[in-house]
Amino acid sequence: MLDIEKKLLGNLSDEILRNLNERLTYLRNLEKRKEEIKNSIENQGKWTEEIANELENAITLSEVEDIYRPYKQKKKTRAIIAKQKGLDLLAQNIFEQKSTEDIKEFAKKFITDEVHDITEALSGAKDIIAEIISDDPYYRKKIKSIYYKEGIIETSSNKEDEKSPYEMYYDFNEHLSKIPSHRILAINRGEKEEFLKVKIIKPEEKIIDLICNKVIKTKGDRADLIKEAVEDSWERLIKPSIDREVRSDLTEKADKQAIIVFGKNAKQLLLGAPLKGLTVLGFDPAYRTGCKLAVIDETGKVLDTGVVYPTEPQNDIEGSKKELIRLIMKDNINMIAIGNGTASRESEIFVSDTIKELKEKTGLDVYYTIVSEAGASVYSASKLASEEYPDLNVSLRGAISIARRLQDPLAEFVKIDPKAIGIGQYQHDVDQKALSESLSGVVEDTVNEVGVDLNTATSSLLSYVSGINSGIAKNIVKYRDENGKFKERKELLKVPKLGQSTFEQCAGFVRIPNGKNPLEITAVHPESYEVAEKLLKTIGYNKQDILDKEKLKEIKSKLSSLNIMATAKDLNVGEITLRDIISELSKPGRDPREDMPKPILRSDVLKFDDLKENMILTGTVRNITDFGAFVDIGVKHDGLVHISELSDKFVRKPTDIVSIGDIVKVKVIGIDFEKQKVKLSMKNL
């Protein structure tokens, strides 16, 4: 079964498969919309071979809607009112330009109780012509093309004297064809917050001439009337509509790019290297309410909690030091994880001074690191946190989350809505449904890539395993609590509501260390156990041998020298599956996160005032946007490495150079002491 699936899918990655599924959904919606439009036009008795061809050749929803535009039921427009007054024949006479009769004489025939004079008749006819031109998909397509080739987006200030994050856009313009996604989203937000006025500059005369050259075939009164109708159509109908469509298209593309960036950042954050085997103190900084403390052991179990007041207004430095040292000595704390939110700077100075004092007195080495606390408050007040720690204060749950993020970022971050974890660009401005779907996919891919320990995973982590929903995840945890640890994967079939189909989906992604079968610390699926055992037998080993470090080296060496094609034939297995089995047997139980950069551990603090230009520092990449990377160098605010400063070579996108969590060397190239901002560079380092 697995062989067949892998051959059919060409061994494509989860990300590519998800993109293909997204494209397939779009194409299905496109075909569905085409069918709806066909039925609507047929019901109006206006279906033609020409419309059928146009619809068949349309490749975007936008094109399809433009084709349908003339047949769409409209509200009471000026053209509809003119038609109701019987002026469509007059409009037709003018637009066709075939008659030689004086147009004013011809227009007299249309004077009625509703049409009082020639001027009113001709005005109504022009309204009808203006709408015909506006609804023509040919013109709309051509005009959009001109917008994208020659259009410029221009922004100006609504509040010139007011400081805002949008000051660079107070007098700004850029070609539509070149403006990057992050600037579109920034402009949209600035406009929404009423700091900016936005307009699109386009070659209006050129567009009017394009239409006139197509529709005006003669000279004279009729030609003059058509030109007036074209100008009215452009100003009143086409320009506002195309402006909206182009802005909407730009926003949609910017949304997609922002979601892609956010997804990549989220995956890197989730794949952060865990710090295993440490007792960690989570330190959640605050001012008035005090800094919350939570000590967790190497398994994540809460050992102690408390509150200290080293910050304003209490400034109880000595009392706080005594309590922190007491906890360090009592619980053998190796590491302190400090949240990076309010009062983080003051808390860092306090922790640094305390562990230096402790080192001088006892020789004990304790380190600290700064941890992103984004989303910790969201988690603390969540239903899940209440279930996990029903007896603990909401504020203390935040300190636990901060500590656990250092121990196992993946297990902790899956508890939080991805939008709340403080990475990406303008994530609250983009299509929220599309963002949620994308991020759920990213989290699922990451969980499946890392694998999940079936005997320690929380229900929130298990719910992201392929095939397992939140209900089944809770049933797994409940079964484990009632029956003890799982000894083998097939025991999952005893879990209520977890059937054979779900088992086939999830089995390869769960791990059972110290279980009955050594293969269950790998991603080898139970369907392939027999093949894996035969493979090991062909090179003179058995499945127990993969747990022996010395034998594993020999196994890895022999597996790497196999003839894949011949071995696959001998074992009657697909080459793709065989390669996967070999890869897993060569590194049983290995966590792919082990290759990721470890957090920077500190014992001393760097103050903003200590910074000087040309200083070389080591920092951690905290966030990546289209315009650069934000690096934590140990001062209060992350410094920006602009895309132009990421490398000596041209950089198309920052993610080509850095990833979330990377440890990088940077040079300080600019300091704004007033705004507490730092410009950094990675060039020539």
List of domains in the chain: 2-71 (1.10.10.650), 280-407 (3.30.420.140), 462-595 (1.10.150.310), 608-681 (2.40.50.140)
Portion of the chain with pLDDT greater than 90, in percent: 45
Tokens of 388: 């996990």
- The mean pLDDT value for 242-258 works out to 92
**pLDDT band (50, 70, 90) for residue 504:** very high
- Give the pLDDT of residue 20: 82
Q: With helix as H, strand as E and coil as C, how does 128-163 read?
A: HHHHHHHHCHHHHHHHHHHHHHHCEEEEEECCCCCC
463-486 pLDDT tens trace:
989 899 989 999 999 999 899 889
- Give the pLDDT of residue 4: 46
- Give the pLDDT of residue 6: 52
Q: Is the pLDDT of residue 183 over 60?
A: yes
Cα distances (angstroms) measured from residue 348 to each of 301, 311, 355, 589, 611 = 24, 11, 11, 36, 17
**pLDDT band (50, 70, 90) for residue 285:** very high
**pLDDT band (50, 70, 90) for residue 622:** confident
How many Å apart are CA 140 and CA 143, to the nearest integer?
5
The per-residue pLDDT of the chain, averaged, comes to 88
Cα distances (angstroms) measured from residue 258 to each of 148, 272, 297, 445, 459 = 21, 21, 38, 19, 30
- The mean pLDDT value for 576-594 works out to 85
Q: Is the pLDDT of residue 9 over 70?
A: no
How many Å apart are CA 620 and CA 627, to the nearest integer?
17
Sheet with strand 171-175: strands edge to edge: 171-175, 152-157, 196-201
- The mean pLDDT value for 532-559 works out to 89
Q: Is the pLDDT of residue 582 over 70?
A: yes
Q: Is the dihedral of CA 249, 250, 255, 258 positive or negative?
A: positive
Query: Quick one: which of 205, 203, 187 has its CA closest to 195?
Result: 187
- Give the pLDDT of residue 384: 83
Contacts of 174 (CB under 8 A, 6+ apart): 152, 153, 183
Interior/surface letters 112-141, b for 16+ CB within 10 angstroms, e for the rest: eeebeebebbbbbbbbbbbbbbbbbbebbe
How many Å apart are CA 636 and CA 370, to the nearest integer?
10
Q: Is the pLDDT of residue 324 over 90?
A: yes
Q: Is 666 helix (H, G, I), strand (E, B) or coil?
A: strand
Containing 14, the helix (H) or strand (E) segment is: helix 14-43
How many Å apart are CA 70 and CA 135, to the nearest integer?
5
- Give the pLDDT of residue 601: 66
Q: Is the pLDDT of residue 454 over 50?
A: yes
339-387 pLDDT tens trace:
887 888 889 889 999 999 999 999 998 999 888 888 888 888 888 888 8
Contacts of 218 (CB under 8 A, 6+ apart): 97
The CA dihedral of 314, 320, 322, 328, to the nearest 10 degrees, is 170
- The mean pLDDT value for 448-452 works out to 87
- The mean pLDDT value for 605-627 works out to 82
- Give the pLDDT of residue 145: 94
186-238 pLDDT tens trace:
999 999 999 999 999 999 999 999 999 999 999 899 999 999 999 999 999 99
**pLDDT band (50, 70, 90) for residue 291:** very high
Beta bridge partners, 304, equal: 295
**pLDDT band (50, 70, 90) for residue 493:** very high
Cα distances (angstroms) measured from residue 376 to each of 324, 343, 415, 587 = 22, 15, 10, 34
Q: Is the pLDDT of residue 522 over 50?
A: yes
414-448 pLDDT tens trace:
888 767 777 766 777 788 888 888 878 888 888 88
Portion of the chain with pLDDT greater than 70, in percent: 96
145-165 pLDDT tens trace:
999 999 999 999 988 778 888
- Give the pLDDT of residue 68: 87
**Lowest mean per-residue pLDDT among 22-36, 253-267, 588-602, 662-676:** 588-602
Q: Distance between alpha carbon 466 and the CA centroid of its chain, in Å? A: 20
Q: Is the pLDDT of residue 332 over 90?
A: yes
- The mean pLDDT value for 86-110 works out to 91
Q: Is the pLDDT of residue 13 over 70?
A: no
574 vs 4, more confident: 574
- Give the pLDDT of residue 604: 63
Containing 186, the helix (H) or strand (E) segment is: helix 181-192
**pLDDT band (50, 70, 90) for residue 87:** very high
How many Å apart are CA 576 and CA 10, to the nearest integer?
9
Q: Is the pLDDT of residue 1 over 60?
A: no
- Give the pLDDT of residue 269: 82
553-564 pLDDT tens trace:
888 899 988 898
- The mean pLDDT value for 569-597 works out to 84
DSSP type of residue 602: B
294-309 pLDDT tens trace:
999 887 889 999 999 9
- Give the pLDDT of residue 430: 82
- Give the pLDDT of residue 603: 61
- The mean pLDDT value for 594-614 works out to 73
Q: Is the pLDDT of residue 594 over 80?
A: no
Contact 346, 311 (CB under 8 A): yes
How many Å apart are CA 120 and CA 125, to the nearest integer?
9
Q: Is 664 helix (H, G, I), strand (E, B) or coil?
A: strand
